[in-house]
Amino acid sequence: MTKKSSNRLATKMMIALVLGLLAGVGLIALRENLNANGNAALWNTIHSVLFADISAQGNEQALGIFYIIGQLFVRALQVIIVPMVFTSIVLAMIRISDSRKLGRISTKTIGCFLLTTTVSLLIAGIVGFTAYQMGFFNPAELNGLTTSTRSTGSNPLMILINAVPNNVAAAFSNNGGVLGIVVLAVAVGLGINACKEKIEVLPKLCEEISHIITTCLSFIVNRFGPLAIFVLITRTFAVYGVNYLKPALAYVVLTVILLLIMLVFGYALFVWITTGMSPVLFIKKISKVALFGFSTSSSAATLPLNMKTTTEELGVHEEIASFVLPLGMTVNMDGTAIMQVIAAIFIASCGGYDVTLTSVLIIGILALVASIGTPAAPGAGAVILFTILSGMGYGNDMALMAYTLILAINRPIEMLVTSLNVVGDSACAIAVSKSEGLLDEETYNLENGYETKKVSDCEA
């Protein structure tokens, strides 16, 4: 995809987002007007035809046109997740002939992930605890809510066990177990690297599969991306609206502001500090990836576009990007961690539990582990949140009501969380590539046909 076509795609996505927001707001107004004037049946018909989740019980006769279009697009991206992650990491391992270099890249990558996640958790803990102390999370706001079916949680440390698959076929058939695919791909790649010329067919097969995936990806994103963004945004507003946000306005506003600050300023500052490259150019070029992640609410679905943007526009070497980005999609979940910390403190407050600095620290540790094990799929962060609540013992009726509310209203927040996660992966890839001397600064600085200077070279 050329830079000109990439810019056109970003423009189309932005137009689709704006149109989706306008259509969504219009649908909210229509719904409220119809319900207020006793025409709820008409809105139910519109919802059934356009927006209903046809997989849900009770919607067997619904059409759900927008739901179908959105799901087809997301599934078209999800179907290539496992082969793309596996082949990209295997090829990355093969291309790195120096084992010491591989060790350096792995260490630097994990270091960047831990640094950004730790800073995110620290900020979220401070902000969440301050909001709790100031009484922003008022339990009285949850009066009148009804409980729903509980989600089942598990020990967050299970991620360490599940990282090593016990069945190859099962590992390749589960998009939610991408970490197992990452470990398997690393093992296979290192094995091929060690055997060198003895293995000829598998490396070529991985390269051919990678070419097929790239071709299919370009077609899906270019042809259907803008339409899918419009459909997904419009349906989100039409289904969830704004009324569900009122009982937990403090949680929503606080989390959104924190995520936006980190998204717009945090990673740009990180790129500038670690590489000296222009933070403004980073924001401009990565914006379409953030927008795509926001629309799909899936790090996995956004990975292909993130890979192309990071290598072709931000100048990251392919062997770095093909290792850092798939791994980051699985273990680097800064946005998810921020959301889970704020949500856990909110739920604890609603449940009447005493929130102390110690409990906030424990919540942060659990969020770090749980975020690593969060599948790169829509809505996964809020479900995995239950493992943190179980670990903290937040299980009374009011806490469960608050958790139910989080599940109901968290869709817009999950969309923003995904943007943060994918942008963080790209920022870390840039830092690692720069430290290895593999960052194409000319490509990074190229904007609209001319080069700009690095921030470090500019006069104050």
DSSP 353: P
Residue 151: which of 399, 418, 431, 416 has the closest Cα?
Answer: 399
Question: What pLDDT, on the 0 to 100 scale, is given for residue 145?
Answer: 44
Alpha-carbon span 92 to 311, nearest angstrom: 14
Specify whether the CB–CB gap between 287 and 305 falls below 8 A: no
Query: Which residues touch 349 (CB under 8 Å, ≥6 apart)?
Result: 132, 137, 138, 139, 355
pLDDT at 240: 63
pLDDT, average across residues 324-338: 82
User: In this predicted structure, which of 97-106, 202-211, 293-302, 323-332 has the lowest mean pLDDT?
Assistant: 97-106
Asked if 332 and 121 count as a contact pair (C-beta separation under 8 A), the reply is no
User: Which segments of 157-298 are extended strands (E)?
Assistant: none
What dotted CATH number matches 3-450? Answer: 1.10.3860.10
DSSP structural state of residue 198: G
Please report which confidence band the pLDDT of residue 95 belongs to, taking 50, 70 and 90 as the band edges: low
364-403 residue pLDDT tens:
887 776 666 555 555 556 666 776 777 777 877 677 767 7
For 57-78, what is the mean pLDDT?
Answer: 84
Name the CA dihedral angle for 421, 427, 429, 433, rounded to a multiple of 10 degrees.
180
What's the whole-model pTM score? 0.64
Residue with tokens 């009374």: 396
Per-residue confidence at 141, pLDDT binned at 50, 70, 90? very low
Among the listed ranges 4-13, 56-65, 97-106, which one has the minimum average pLDDT value? 4-13
Q: 196's torsion region: left (phi>0), alpha (psi -120 to 50) or beta?
A: left
Q: Among the ranges 135-139, 206-210, 440-444, which has the highest mean pLDDT value? A: 440-444
The pLDDT of residue 273 is 93
Whether 92 contacts 260, CB under 8 Å: no
Report the C-alpha gap between 76 and 82 in whole angstroms. Answer: 12
Cα maximum dimension of the chain: 75
Q: CA–CA separation, 449 vs 288, rounded Å?
A: 19
User: What token pair was written down for 186?
Assistant: 């690393």
- Give the per-residue pLDDT at 122: 92
Mean pLDDT of 243-249: 55
**C-beta separation of 264 from 283 below 8 A:** yes
Q: Looking at residue 454, what is its pLDDT?
A: 44
Residues 259, 338: contact at Cβ < 8 Å? yes
For residue 444, pLDDT over 60 is answered with yes
Among 303, 310, 315, CA closest to 85: 303
Among the residue ranges 278-282, 399-403, 415-419, the one predicted with the least confidence is 399-403
Q: 174-188, 200-214, 334-348, 412-426: lowest mean pLDDT where?
A: 174-188
- Rounded Cα distance between 66 and 72, Å, is 10
Q: What is the band of 328 on the pLDDT scale with cuts at 50, 70, 90?
A: confident
Q: How confident is the model at residue 318 (pLDDT cuts 50, 70, 90)?
A: confident
| Distance between CA atoms of residues 88 and 207, nearest Å | 9
Q: What is the mean pLDDT of the chain?
A: 78
